[in-house]
C-alpha cells in the first residue's frame, strides 16, 4: 500500500453516510423521540427529520447526499432516488471503505459527517445538540474501530452548548477521536462570536488536548447568504459554489478576533473550500492589517499565525495548487477526497499527485500525507 516514492497518502476530509437509524440507536434514551431520522411525506418522498421537523432543503433528494459516480440530474430530481440509493457500501461499511481506500491508493482517512453538516441550523436546544453530537461520535468511533490504524474519527462538536462541547470533546478524545469538526456558521453557535466568554473553556480544552478544529461546509434551509438566493434551478450553481463562503468567513473571523493569538497552541484546519484562494487571502489580510493594527489584538501579521497554527485542504480538481504550494510552502497543505459526495469522484489520489507533480518529491510527500500525520499526531509507524 505505502508508495515508496510518495510515502503515506492521507485523505484529510473523507466522509461517511450515517445509517438512517444512527441517532435512534446511539442517542441517549431521553432524546430518542427527538432523534434524527428519515421519514416519508405525503408524496412518498423522503424527508430528513431533525427534532421532528423536516429539512426542506433536501426533501425528496436525500440520495444526493452521497451519489459519487452517479447521475446528478437523477439524484436532484425529487422522489427519484432514495438516501440508500446514493450510499455506496464504502460510505457506511468500514470493511467496504477500506477496500475503496486500497483501490484509490489511500492509506489513512480522517472521517467527517454528512447528515451532520445539516442539522445544527435547525437545532436551538443546546442539550439536544450535544446529544446529537454524542450519538454520532459514538457511532463513528465504532465504525473506525474496524481498523484503528487506518480510519480516524473526527468528533462533531456543537458550540451552541458551550459546556456540553467541552464535556463531549474530552469524552471523544478518550474514545480515540483525533480532531474536532465545527460548523462555521453563526446560527450553529447561537449567534455568538468565537471570542465570546462562553467559549473560553472550550478553546483551552482543544488546545490542551491537542485536538485540531476544522471548519467544513454546511447546508441550511436558510444559509447565511440567503438574500442572494432564488428558489429555482438557475441558482443551484450559485448555492453549491457559495457553500465555501461560511468556511472562509469562519477562518477570517478566527483571525480577526485574535483567536490564534489568544490560543497559541490551538490548531485549525480549513476544509472543503479549496486551497488556491489562501495565498491571495493571506496577502489581503496582511495588507489590511497594516492600517488596522491599532484596532487589533494581533501581534503578528495574519499570515504568520496561519503558518504557526493552520493547514488548508486542497481539492484534487484545483488547477493552481502546485504554484500556491510553492508560494506558501508545502508544510501548510493537506488534501481531501470528499468521498462519497456527489461532487467527488474516484481516482482522486492519482489526480492530486498529477496536480503536484511539478513539486519536489519532498514537498509532494508532505501534502500527500506527512502534514496530516504531523498536524493530527496520527499514531502511525514507518
Integer angstrom CA distances of residue 370 from 64, 75, 208, 367: 32, 36, 22, 7
In a domain, 109, yes or no: yes
Those residues whose C-beta lies under 8 Å from the C-beta of residue 370, and which sit 6 or more positions away, are: 7, 8
The pLDDT confidence band at residue 223, using thresholds 50, 70 and 90, is confident
pLDDT digits over 8-47, tens only? 999 999 999 999 999 999 999 999 999 999 999 999 999 9
The pLDDT confidence band at residue 239, using thresholds 50, 70 and 90, is confident
> Strand 46-50 and strand 37-40: pairing?
antiparallel
Do residues 180 and 206 touch, judged by C-beta distance below 8 A?
yes
Range of the domain at 194: 10-18+88-376
Ramachandran angles phi, psi of 54, nearest 5°: -80, 140
Q: Is pLDDT of 382 > 60? A: no
pLDDT digits over 77-136, tens only? 999 999 999 999 999 999 999 999 999 999 999 999 999 999 998 999 999 999 999 999
Q: How many domains does the chain have?
A: 1
In a domain, 47, yes or no: no
Do residues 50 and 119 touch, judged by C-beta distance below 8 A?
yes
CB atoms within 10 A of CB 320: 15
Q: What percent of the chain has pLDDT over 90?
A: 91
Q: Is pLDDT of 369 > 80? A: yes
Q: Is pLDDT of 4 > 80? A: no
Provide the CATH number for the domain around residue 371.
3.20.20.140
In a domain, 52, yes or no: no
Q: What percent of the chain has pLDDT over 70?
A: 97
In a domain, 101, yes or no: yes
Q: What is the mean pLDDT of residues 166-180?
A: 98
pLDDT at 224: 85
Q: For residue 185, give the nearest of 214, 154, 217, 162 by alpha carbon.
A: 217
In a domain, 31, yes or no: no
Q: Is pLDDT of 253 > 90? A: yes
pLDDT digits over 38-85, tens only? 999 999 999 999 999 999 999 999 999 999 999 999 999 999 999 999
Give the residue, 3 or 103, on which the prediction is more confident. 103
In a domain, 24, yes or no: no
pLDDT at 35: 98
Q: Is pLDDT of 236 > 50? A: yes
HSE, side-chain direction, 13 A CA sphere, residue 351: 16
Do residues 182 and 202 touch, judged by C-beta distance below 8 A?
no
Q: Report the first-to-last Cα separation within the chain, whole angstroms.
A: 12
The pLDDT confidence band at residue 166, using thresholds 50, 70 and 90, is very high
In a domain, 46, yes or no: no
Q: Is pLDDT of 2 > 70? A: no
In a domain, 82, yes or no: no
SS3 state at 344: coil
Q: Report the Cα 26 to chain-centroid distance in Å.
A: 21
Amino acid at each position: 500500500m505505502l508508495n515508496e516514492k510518495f510515502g503515506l497518502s492521507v485523505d484529510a476530509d473523507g466522509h461517511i453516510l450515517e445509517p438512517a437509524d444512527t441517532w435512534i440507536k446511539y442517542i441517549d434514551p431521553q432524546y430518542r423521540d427527538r432523534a434524527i431520522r428519515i421519514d416519508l411525506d405525503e408524496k412518498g418522498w423522503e424527508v430528513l427529520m431533525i427534532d421532528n421537523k423536516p429539512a426542506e432543503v433536501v426533501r425528496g433528494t436525500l440520495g444526493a447526499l452521497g451519489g459519487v459516480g452517479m447521475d446528478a440530474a437523477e439524484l436532484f430530481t425529487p422522489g427519484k432516488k432514495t438516501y440508500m440509493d446514493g450510499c455506496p457500501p464504502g460510505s457506511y461499511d468500514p470493511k467496504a471503505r477500506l477496500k475503496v481506500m486500497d483501490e484509490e491508493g489511500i492509506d489513512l482517512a480522517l472521517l467527517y459527517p454528512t447528515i451532520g453538516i445539516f442539522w445544527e441550523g435547525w437545532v436551538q436546544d443546546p442539550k439536544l445538540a450535544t446529544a446529537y453530537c454524542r450519538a454520532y461520535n459514538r457511532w463513528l468511533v465504532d465504525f473506525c474501530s474496524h481498523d484503528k490504524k487506518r480510519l480516524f474519527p473526527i468528533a462533531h462538536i456543537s458550540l451552541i452548548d458551550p459546556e456540553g462541547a467541552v464535556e463531549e470533546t474530552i469524552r471523544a478524545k478518550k474514545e480515540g477521536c483525533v480532531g474536532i469538526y465545527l460548523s462555521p456558521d453563526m446560527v450553529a453557535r447561537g449567534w455568538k462570536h468565537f471570542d465570546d466568554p462562553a467559549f473560553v473553556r472550550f478553546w483551552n480544552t482543544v488546545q490542551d488536548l491537542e485536538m485540531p478544529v476544522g471548519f467544513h461546509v454546511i447546508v441550511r434551509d436558510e444559509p447565511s447568504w440567503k438574500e442572494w438566493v432564488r428558489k429555482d434551478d438557475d441558482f443551484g450553481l450559485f448555492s453549491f459554489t457559495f457553500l465555501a463562503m461560511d468556511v472562509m468567513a469562519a477562518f477570517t473571523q478566527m483571525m480577526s478576533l485574535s483567536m490564534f493569538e489568544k490560543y497559541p497552541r490551538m490548531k485549525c484546519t480549513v476544509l472543503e473550500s479549496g486551497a488556491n484562494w489562501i495565498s491571495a487571502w493571506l496577502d489581503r489580510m496582511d495588507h489590511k492589517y497594516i492600517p488596522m493594527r491599532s484596532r487589533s489584538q494581533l501581534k503578528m501579521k495574519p499570515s504568520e499565525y496561519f503558518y504557526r497554527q493552520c493547514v488548508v485542504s486542497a481539492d484534487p480538481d484545483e488547477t493552481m495548487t502546485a504554484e500556491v504550494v510553492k508560494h506558501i510552502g508545502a508544510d501548510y497543505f493537506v488534501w481531501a477526497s470528499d468521498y462519497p459526495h456527489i461532487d467527488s469522484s474516484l481516482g482522486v489520489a492519482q489526480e492530486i499527485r498529477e496536480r503536484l507533480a511539478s513539486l519536489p518529491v519532498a514537498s509532494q510527500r508532505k501534502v500527500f500525507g506527512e502534514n496530516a500525520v504531523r498536524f493530527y499526531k496520527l499514531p502511525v509507524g514507518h
